[in-house]
Amino acid sequence: MPNGRAGDHPLTDILHYGSSEFGEPVDGLVKEMSRSERFFQVRDEVADVLLNCSPAWRQEEKDLLVAKAFGQLQVLRNRLT
């Protein structure tokens, strides 16, 4: 159950606490996207990608999940430009 602390959601972890279980390059891409004036248009989709690809309980698949999230986030970033 969310309690307003690090670990509640990967997007919150990145934007409020500076990092998540993804690490770079995902964290950096999300931070870059969040500086866009149009980030609000894709914010919910970014949150969904991060949650659906979260390696928090699937460490054995982390590399695959990070790559998948990064690819999906790049598509969303391209919509901001």
So where are the chain's domains? 10-80
Query: Is 4:38 a contact under the CB 8 Å cutoff?
Result: no
pLDDT tens sequence across 30-67? 999 999 999 999 999 999 999 999 998 888 999 999 99
**CB-based burial of residue 45 (10 Å sphere; 0-12 exposed, 13-18 middle, 19+ buried)?**
middle
pTM of the model: 0.90
Using the predicted structure, report yes or no on whether residue 68 has a pLDDT greater than 70: yes
Amino acid at 53: C
